[in-house]
Amino acid sequence: MSTVTLGRTGIVSNKNAFGALPIQRVSPDYAGKLLRKAYDAGITFFDTARSYSDSEEKMGLALADVRDKIVIATKTPSTTVEGFWKDLETSLRLLKTDYIDIYQFHNPSFCPKPGDGTGLYEAMLEAKAQGKIRFIGLTNHRIHVAQEAVESGLYDTLQFPFCYLATDKDIALVNLCKEKNVGFICMKGLSGGLITNSAAAYAWQAQFDNTLPIWGVQRENELDEFISYMENPPSMDDPAIKAVIDKDRKELIGNFCRACGYCMPCPVGITINQCARMSQLIRRSPSANWLTPESQAMMMKVEDCLECGQCKSKCPYGLDTPTLLKQNLTDYKDILSGKTVI
């Protein structure tokens, strides 16, 4: 079983970590079943967030009795000291624990530091002094913020999108973390659902000895796939794996929506993080799922776009979101009319 050490934290985990964002979409009983099955199979690293509605509560209910055998990472989106402490106390209560292993600032627009006037980093230090957190982390989608955090020496871990669609800058960030002894936690290992071959995703991640991918799990069959790789890991030596990755990189790298959702909400109710990538979704998963009356209504909502630019200004990847929405709507209409056959 392949393992990774998260930098100076010394935390050792196998290359499968459980991403608990999706369990907010399933019942408590089903979430508990997934979490316990993961634990029983040897998965010991669980990542959640205060922003993931009831994910923390479900995790607490399922795993409280094995707390000393697992690693819990959670996050606060708060930009105030008061909100920081409120989030931390809420997370501790819901997770049924008296400490968090890795407490992370959740996608801040800047890198919190001592003396920056916000008091946020000082709150982290106080929480650590009180024994309520063990290590300080930061999650982000903005590479300049991520780089600053790693270079600062203030953070024990970084969580950042990383998958086989990564750019040279993304890989350089992974190498920088290794150089600075900062643990690198990979989110978006399946690129928000655009990568549909989990074996290829796993094999590519296995090339990096300092990264820990957290796989977002919502269904038991998804979990079963990742569990199977612990004993029988797919390899980049497999020509079929290489072919999948090469094909996806040609089709997906560049100007595409990662579905991070930071552009939301839209003032006119457009589901931006779905509509801006519909051309990929409809070709990379069963198309019938995206041709329902509900999906058609969702896409036609793009016609109400005000071109206010809010989504564009919020995109951490610098995408021209209004243009992407228009392009995806045009393509969708062509599919509906039969002009484009998929």
List the catalytic residue out of 52, 103, 164, 202: 52
Residue 72 phi/psi, 5-degree rounding, is -115, 125
Q: Reply yes or no on whether 52 is catalytic.
A: yes
Whether 3 and 180 have beta carbons less than 8 Å apart is answered as no
DSSP structure string for 40-76: HTT--EEE--TTSTTHHHHHHHHHGGGGGGSEEEEEE
CA-based torsion, 279, 280, 284, 290: positive or negative: negative
Three-state DSSP class for 142?
coil
| Coil/strand/helix, residue 273 | helix
Report how far apart, in Å, the C-alpha atoms of 293 and of each of 126, 206, 299 are: 52, 41, 10
Three-state secondary-structure class, residue 119: coil
Helix (H) or strand (E) segment spanning residue 227: helix 220-231
Spatial distance between the Cα atoms of 86 and 5, rounded to a whole number of angstroms: 31
262 in Cβ contact with 312 (< 8 Å)? no
Buried-state track 83-112, b at ≥16 Cβ within 10 A, e below 16:
ebbebbeebbebbbbebbbbbbbbbbebbb
Catalytically annotated residues: 52
